[in-house]
Amino acid sequence: MKNELILYTRKDCCLCEEMKITIRQVAERFPLAIRELDVDISQDLQQQYGNEVPVLFVNGRKAFKYRVTAKALESRLKKDALV
């Protein structure tokens, strides 16, 4: 079963690019279904996440905002697998 990740991001965001790189690294070791949403395409998304991007949801739960390390993401994925 693949873990589902949703990344809320925006264009020209250096923190967003860093998080995408980390997610790609982890995706080499874990099966992931990744969806990326630009918060600037919707006023609702902008209001919810515009000041927090990047925001990463793991399996439907808000897990990280601004930064994530490969180790922290892997730990979260392993934790979710045990539930």
Domains and CATH numbers, the chain: 3-78 (3.40.30.10)
Q: Phi and psi dihedrals of 10, rounded to 5? A: -155, 160
Residue pair 40/10 in contact (Cβ under 8 Å)? The answer is yes
79 — pLDDT class (breaks 50, 70, 90)? confident
DSSP string, 6-71: EEEE-TT-HHHHHHHHHHHHHHTTS-EEEEEEEGGG-HHHHHHHTTT-SEEEETTEEEEES---HH
**Confidence category of residue 82, pLDDT binned at 50, 70, 90:** low
19-63 pLDDT, tens digit per residue, is 999 999 999 999 999 999 999 999 999 999 999 999 999 999 999
pTM: 0.92
